[in-house]
Structure 1
């Protein structure tokens, strides 16, 4: 029997069982048929974040940010580039703290940009502030291992 991983659809938030013996890059949602991995970070609300964190068998890295934050805007392209190179081993998401203050409060976000990594529904790592592409990639690669 083939082992499967739960992956939440970035489009409709349905929980999908993705066989580990098939390329995850080609996986599509069983409900809405959108690609499960699209090569860019997904925007999540507080509610959607909780659904993804609670129902995903792959690590999730979340960038807590705000549009008025200069370092956050500088981090955006670096984060997107890292997403393209590492996904689907890790899900990348973004949460706007101005629109989702309850998520920021729940995860004790005190400064932005802030990266929080989740595995099996729990926070496993944090990183605060602007970082370069190489450091970010190394941090995420260690989480994906």
Structure 2
């Protein structure tokens, strides 16, 4: 199989990089180290180290929700973000980073207000979206900027 047919996906649970055939994304591929599902249409919680690995090198676009537990709009948007994750399964991975637990990451990313959504593709930031949004807006945002 040519290398171009495989995507690098970082496991949100253990941080291990995995090579996954593009044609197998719909088959719920698992991490070769810890067995966690890599593409399951669910939102994964990131820590600082895994955030950097995922945003700098994943083969699928990654949308990160920068949030905090005390933020009302963040809590309101959480179920909408989860709906969008399910709808975008196989197209993009949706993940969350708690800015209260990881202030150094939010400072480095230039987060000035939350919730803040940043879309990463091929190791670079490609677009931002501020404020709580319904699932339809999140899906449209990813599809517009992920290509």
Q: Please confirm whether the aligned pair reaches a TM-score higher than 0.5, indicating the same fold.
A: yes
Deviates more, 1:80-89 or 1:106-115: 80-89
Name structure 2 gaps, 5 residues minimum. none
C-alpha distance in structure 1 between counterparts of 2:58 and 2:68, whole Å = 25
Corresponding residue for 1:139?
A: 141
C-alpha distance in structure 1 between counterparts of 2:66 and 2:116, whole Å = 5
Contact 1:65 1:113 in 2 (8 A): yes
C-alpha distance in structure 1 between counterparts of 2:39 and 2:111, whole Å = 27
SS in 2 for 1:93: strand
Contact 1:18 1:24 in 2 (8 A): no
- TM score, norm. by length of structure 2: 0.92
C-alpha distance in structure 2 between counterparts of 1:109 and 1:42, whole Å = 19
Provide the aligned length of Structure 1 versus Structure 2.
145
Point out 4+ residue stretches in structure 1 off by more than 2 angstroms.
21-26
C-alpha distance in structure 2 between counterparts of 1:11 and 1:120, whole Å = 21
State the 1:129 CA deviation.
Answer: 0.5
2:45 equivalent among 43, 46, 61: 43
Name structure 1 gaps, 5 residues minimum. none
State the 1:9 CA deviation.
Answer: 1.2
